[in-house]
Structure 1
Amino acid sequence: MASSRLFNNIGRIGIGLAIAGGVINSMLYNVDGGHRAVIFDRFQGVKPDVIGEGTHFMIPWLHRPIIFDIRTRPRSVPSITGTKELQPIHKIMTLKSVLNQAFKLKNYKTRTSFAKRLLEWKPAADVAQQIGEQCLNDQWPPKPDRVLPTYIVNLDVPPIERWKDVIVTYKNELSDLIAYLKTFIIEISPELQFLINLIDTKLPAMADTLPTPYGDEMKGISQASGLPLGEIVLYNIFYEISSLCTSVVGQDQYGNILHGRNLDFGGAMGWDKINHTWTLTEKLRPLMVQINYTQNGQVLFKTTTFLGYIGSLTGIKPGVFSISINERNSLKGGYIGLIEWIFNINRNQSFITLAIRDMLTKSESYDQTVKYLAEVSLLAPCYYIVAGPKAGQGVIITRSRNGPDDIKPLGRDNLWFIAQTNYDNWKKQPIFDDRLTPCIKCMQAKGKNQVTFESLFNVLSSRPMLNKETVYTSLMEPATGRFESYWQYCRDEDAPCRPW
């Protein structure tokens, strides 16, 4: 009896210790070296404190740690400079090499002094003008082989089947692009490593969290291409993170509205030192197409897009509106919204390119489109550039994630056009990427009497609006539904070309 009681007591103690150990274990989490964490509180949201390396306590159920990889990695810095004869020289080196070279020239003791020296290295204004700024008149018409191919997506077909036929034709190019994208995605920011880690876990399930019909369309693309669903989801959320663009809306002396845009994509994603191109940009070109979305046998709207990408970057709904989207460079970029969506912290917001497709599908007027895009909660900051079929209908909507920071209508500042790149248009543009000022100068040089497809194409084919990242130019006329898209190439043999 005594021994039986002893074993019973030992058993109870063992069970108690096991329970206690389990409770304690559920209250601990580790942050490994080179990582940081933030805590999501079910009642308060994401806490502001950043947690460093080590073992830490949390309250089970109430708290959930989200861990990021912040380890530094080599980053390539492409640079174009010139000889005294203004011949372009392409150089590429890691950021470490840049710093080493700089400190060989002079012993900089502070970051401020080094920053001042970097600014001293910028080319003089007259040299920059000769190397990088143009306002061409002879680029129209483009050669026939630069016209993007057109395909039809029938919205009357079940979403999972809509893309099947066209995707099968391009599945090898899509597979090659996504493989490269996975390799270089963290070049944009180390914070994005978490996306790669989630491809086989969280991202496939993310398709089921998207509004109808987008999740089923992604599943259909996965089935047709043979690629894992997680990779298709990654490909479709990538614009929430990074791209560059130039958009222009102009009105002629008769009140006719035209809309043009360059899509620049792929910078910082692998520089080809032999061909002086961005590798990702070149891999995107074969996937560029025009899609005519039909319903009840009629064209409902048209877009220019990458095959396999279901959001809309550039589009027109004939007689209603045209639209383009530009990335807004911001410290609070799209990765924050993605984290909130993937981990179900906040799904009461829209993906920035799916919001456009929603409007192309449902909107009945220019005003309805502008109101929705100004007010809807978004995963990422951006610029929406919208044009309508009537005189005066043009606007740049500068968006934060929660609402508009500025709405600039056509006609403000007594201008007959509006232009937008990737920085707030009311602020001084950065010296390393000022496409807005040359664009405005060129539009003013063309004049109000030259608001035509020809003049817009010439403006968008002029450097630096045309650069090494430029993939295509689209031209749109909302009133008639005329929509043309062309592959673009920036070749150094024509004139020195900027990396971005």
Structure 2
Amino acid sequence: MHDAAQPSNLRAIELHCVPIAMPPIPELNVDLDAPPERRWDGLSEWRQEGRELLKFYLRDLGGLDAFSSVLTGYRDDFVDPEYVAEMRSVARILDAREEEVLLVNLYYDALKLLLASPMGCTAFAVDTAGPPLHARNLDWTNADGRLAKSTVIVNFHRGEGAPLYRTVGWPGFVGCLSGVAPGRFAITLNAVLSDDPPELAPPISLLLRRVLEKAETFDIAVATLRDTEVASDGLLLVTGTRPGEMAVIERTPTRAVVRGPKDGAIFVANDYRALSSSPSAMTELTATSYGRYGHAERLVRANAPVDAESCLAVLRNGNVKMGITVQHMVFSAAQGTVVVALPA
């Protein structure tokens, strides 16, 4: 558990933004003009990594049998056939069962049913002299280090055009937990728990991908993520291309509240700040959320990050990152950039 104590002197938490050499993150191109069954053919380069991650997360969820009675019906009713076809091709490439690939792609929503695996995240957005910067740690069961090592940036484009949107993911994952639509907005998802029951509704990770593809503006993205029913809880940080375009959408499956920035910045960890919904179960992510949120806010207020490196310094701070942090990332929606660093 991270120390939630508040230092009395901001100088004590000043950041040292010494550039750290970062190995390049491999990139995978997905052509949205191709048939869904062929879009992920480039995944064959990561076949072994994808198979290892698939096995790990199937085991983490307790195996396919725990979901077999509902999985096919849920897919038919709530998963877009386009994405079903993509996952079928992923299963072919990984030499896996279609149902296994489907279940692992629904991992985030499955946790609402099981509460079996830790998944955290701390994120913030901050105005700069130019457009906002959007920074986040992804904290997740790290598959014995495989999740970080297997990180890929996926560029979704049409034909030979520039990326329509970009996501940070892994071999075999077709949805989105973190992504940017260049010139429009960026989105990241933080885990949270409420006592509201799960809903039979679309999975949130696939909704995020659809919004990245279809929403034309920051305001439309926020409204869509606020108003669309989803299967599970989530905290969504959305940033746009102009100063002040930043919002956290606090979600349960059927309820939502949007909160905006204060003094040019906004923060989110793993607890509700505006929505009235307190989980009865205390987990590692809820127990440490206030401390991580508070430390991130104090670091940002004291140091005013202005670029990716200074944002990464906040994310790498020992009171912000967790033992299960697998990715640090910084987005600029205005520039369409994605900077990803793996924990040291």
Normalised-by-shorter TM-score class: 0.7 to 0.9
In the other structure, the counterpart of 1:436 is 293
Counterpart CA distance in 2 for 1:246 and 1:124 is 14
Q: Is the Cα contact below 8 Å between 1:320 and 1:365 reproduced in 2?
A: yes
User: What is the one-letter code of the residue matched to 1:408?
Assistant: R
User: What is the one-letter code of the residue matched to 1:421?
Assistant: A
Counterpart CA distance in 2 for 1:142 and 1:293 is 28
Counterpart CA distance in 2 for 1:311 and 1:330 is 23
1:304 aligns to 2:156 (yes or no) = no
User: What is the one-letter code of the residue matched to 1:154?
Assistant: D
Q: CA separation of 1:422/1:284 partners in 2, compared to 1, >3 Å: closer, same or farther?
A: same
> Which one of 283, 289, 300 corresponds to residue 146 of structure 2?
283
Counterpart CA distance in 1 for 2:5 and 2:328 is 28
Which has the bigger relative contact order, CA under 8 A and spacing at least 6?
A: 2
> Which one of 149, 173, 192 corresponds to residue 49 of structure 2?
173
Q: Number of residue pairs matched?
A: 322
SS in 2 for 1:455: helix
In the other structure, the counterpart of 1:113 is none
Q: What pairs with 1:58-73 in structure 2 (closer than 5 Å)?
A: none
Q: Is the Cα contact below 8 Å between 2:155 and 2:165 reproduced in 1?
A: yes
> Which one of 137, 150, 157 corresponds to residue 34 of structure 2?
157
In the alignment, structure 1 segments of 5+ residues that lack a partner are: 1-78, 81-122, 187-192, 267-277, 341-348, 490-500
Counterpart CA distance in 2 for 1:135 and 1:294 is 41
Q: CA separation of 1:139/1:231 partners in 2, compared to 1, >3 Å: closer, same or farther?
A: farther
Q: Give the structure with the larger strand fraction.
A: 1
Q: How many Å apart are 1:483 and its aligned residue?
A: 1.6
In the other structure, the counterpart of 1:417 is 265
Provide TM-score, normalisation by structure 1.
0.60
Question: Any idea what the Cα deviations from partners look like across 1:32-86, whole Å, max 9, x if unmatched?
Answer: xxxxxxxxxxxxxxxxxxxxxxxxxxxxxxxxxxxxxxxxxxxxxxx79xxxxxx
In the other structure, the counterpart of 1:407 is 258
In the other structure, the counterpart of 2:114 is none
Q: Is the Cα contact below 8 Å between 1:140 and 1:457 reproduced in 2?
A: no
Q: How many Å apart are 1:174 and its aligned residue?
A: 2.1
1:446 aligns to 2:303 (yes or no) = yes
Counterpart CA distance in 2 for 1:226 and 1:295 is 27
User: What is the one-letter code of the residue matched to 2:272?
Assistant: D
> Which one of 234, 237, 247 corresponds to residue 395 of structure 1?
247
> Which one of 175, 192, 211 corresponds to residue 328 of structure 1?
192
Q: How many Å apart are 1:473 and its aligned residue?
A: 1.2
Q: CA separation of 1:354/1:171 partners in 2, compared to 1, >3 Å: closer, same or farther?
A: same
Q: How many Å apart are 1:445 and its aligned residue?
A: 1.0
SS in 2 for 1:373: helix
Counterpart CA distance in 2 for 1:246 and 1:185 is 23
Q: What pairs with 1:119-198 in structure 2 (closer than 5 Å)?
A: 125=5, 135=13, 137-138=15-16, 140-145=18-23, 147-166=24-43, 168-186=44-62, 196-198=65-67
In the other structure, the counterpart of 2:329 is 474
RMSD, aligned CA: 2.6
User: What is the one-letter code of the residue matched to 1:362?
Assistant: K
Q: Is the Cα contact below 8 Å between 1:249 and 1:258 reproduced in 2?
A: yes
Q: What pairs with 1:207-286 in structure 2 (closer than 5 Å)?
A: 207-209=75-77, 210-240=79-109, 241=111, 243-252=119-128, 254=129, 256-266=131-141, 280=143, 282-286=145-149
Q: Which has the larger radius of gyration?
A: 1
Counterpart CA distance in 1 for 2:319 and 2:88 is 39
